[in-house]
Amino acid sequence: MGQVQAIDQLLTAEEVAAMLGVSTDWVWDHSSRRQLYLPVIPVSDGVLRYRQSQIEAFIAEREAAGRLRRERR
């Protein structure tokens, strides 16, 4: 049989807020714009979930963008 893959956990807005160190309102605001800032999965009416790997990739992208800005100065 093949290897067992780790499940890519779906997170709530509260869990994402804790990971990012922001308020839940910030997460909701950045999940409901026309141009989404956070990668989000609409599950049902008003219920949103976030794939843990995508939030971790978002953090890594923001870190890289911050480093790039500092290097340009």
> Which of 4, 1, 15 has the alpha carbon at shortest distance from 50?
15
Four-point Cα dihedral 25, 26, 32, 35, nearest 10: 170
pTM for the predicted model, two decimal places: 0.76
Token pair for residue 25?
A: 């309102």
Domains and CATH numbers, the chain: 10-72 (1.10.10)
User: Which residue is listed with tokens 């509260």?
Assistant: 14
pLDDT digits (tens, 9 = 90+) for 8-51: 899 999 999 999 999 999 999 999 877 778 999 999 888 999 99
In the structure, what pLDDT confidence band is assigned to residue 69 with cuts at 50, 70 and 90?
confident
Question: What pLDDT, on the 0 to 100 scale, is given for residue 56?
Answer: 94
**Distance, CA of 30 to CA of 6 (rounded, Å):** 27
